[in-house]
Amino acid sequence: MTRYFASQLFDGYSLLNNMRFEVENGRITRLVSHASAEDAIPLDGLVMPAMVDIQVNGCGGVQFNDAPTVDTLKQMANAFLTTGTGSLMPTLITDDLAVMKQGADAIAQARQWDPIAIPGVHFEGPHLSTAKKGMHSNQYIRELGAEEFALFTRKDLGTVMVTVAPETVSTADIRRLTDAGVIVSVGHTNATAEACFAAFDAGASSATHLYNAMSPLTGREPGTVGAALYRNDIYCGLIVDHQHLHPVSATLAIRLKGDEKLMLITDAMAPAASDQDHFYYQGVKVLRQGPALKLEDGTLAGSVLTQQEAIQNTHFDLGFPLDSTLKMATATPAHFLGLSNTIGTLKEGAQANWLTLDKKLAITGTWRNGKLMS
C-alpha cells in the first residue's frame, strides 16, 4: 500500500484541498480530506483522474480502421495516456463487415491486456445517412442487418457504443440494441427533431459530435442539434478544437447541457499525439493542415485534438470554471458509459489512474494502475 498527498485534487466532481489517498493493487483504497502530507508521497500541482474519451479513431500515428489489431490499440492507449486520456473508446468508422469483425476481435484481446485503458468499442456507423456522411464512405453505408446486430451484442467487447442515423435505423432496432445493453447515439444524420425524439424515447442516449454531420437547428425545424439540446436526458459529445465549432456554438452547447451531460471528446485520427502529417482512410488521403485534418476537397476529417488541449480550450478560451471543465472530461463520460465506479473518478474502489497538471493545465505526470509512467 502506498500513500500519496495532493494539496489540490479534483475527484471527478469537485476541487478539494489537502487530500491523502492510498493505493493498493492498482486501486484507490482510501481518501482522507483535510489531511497532512506526513508519511505520504507529495504530488506537485493539480491531481485529477485520467481522462475518458468516448471517440478515438486513431492516434500516436496509427488508425484503428487501417490496422484493427491489438498492437494498434496498445499504441493508441499509450500515446494518448501521455496527453491525459487513461480510458478511450477505440472507434471504428464505417467499413465492411470483415474489418468490423477484425476490430471487435482486437478489442476483446486488448481488454485482456488492460480493460481500463480499453473499456469497450465505439462503432461509428455503418448505419448512417449518406446526406451527412462526412468522411464516411458511401460504399459501406448500409442498413442494420443480422450480422451487424450479432457483432454489436457480443459479450466480450466491454462497453459497446454505436452511432446511428434515426432515418436509417428504426426505433424498434434502437430498442433492440439498447435492450441488449448497447449504448446508442445519434449522429451523421439528417433526421428531423421528431425522428430524433422517437430515437431517444426508444433508448438512444446521446448525440455524436454535436453540430457536426447532423441536421442543424433552424427556426422552423430544430433538427438533430435542437432535439439533442432540448432533451435534458441526452448526453452530447463536443469537439472543442476551434476547428469543428465556433466558440459561440460550443459555449451555447455547454451552457444548455451543463457539465452533467456535455462530454469533451477528440474524434482523434492517427496524426493526433504524433508528428504524422497525413494518413489514408480507405485509400483516401487525409491531410494535416495546421490544427485541422481535411480531405483534399476541404471536408473536415476528424481531428488532431487531445483531451489536454480540449480542457485548455474549454477553460482558458471559453471561460468555463475549472471543476466543470474537468468533469466534462472525466466523470461525465464515465457516467455515460456506466463505468464511473472505476474510471473518470478518484474515489474508493476506482482504478488508480491519475494525472498531475500545472497551472496551464499541461500534464506533468501520468499514473496507470498506481504506477508512474515514464
Active-site residue list: 267
How is residue 317 annotated by DSSP?
I
Strand order in the sheet with 284-289: 278-281, 284-289, 292-294, 300-303
Burial of 102 (0-12, 13-18, 19+ CB in 10 A): middle
Give the bridge partners for 85, in sequence order: 51
Q: How far, in Å, CA of 343 to CA of 334, rounded?
A: 6
Q: Nearest to residue 126, comparing CAs of 155, 97, 153, 98?
A: 97
Q: How far is CA 25 from the centre of its chain?
A: 26
Burial of 97 (0-12, 13-18, 19+ CB in 10 A): middle
Q: How far, in Å, CA of 183 to CA of 163, rounded?
A: 9
Element (H, E) at 44: strand 41-49
Q: How far, in Å, CA of 110 to CA of 332, rounded?
A: 24
Return the C-alpha cell found at 156. Answer: 466480450
Q: How far, in Å, CA of 319 to CA of 216, rounded?
A: 25
**Is there a contact between 121 and 89 (Cβ–Cβ < 8 Å)?**
yes
How is residue 130 annotated by DSSP?
G
**Is there a contact between 145 and 115 (Cβ–Cβ < 8 Å)?**
no
Give the bridge partners for 339, in sequence order: none
**Is there a contact between 18 and 33 (Cβ–Cβ < 8 Å)?**
yes
The stretches of 42-144 forming alpha helices (DSSP H) are 70-81, 97-113
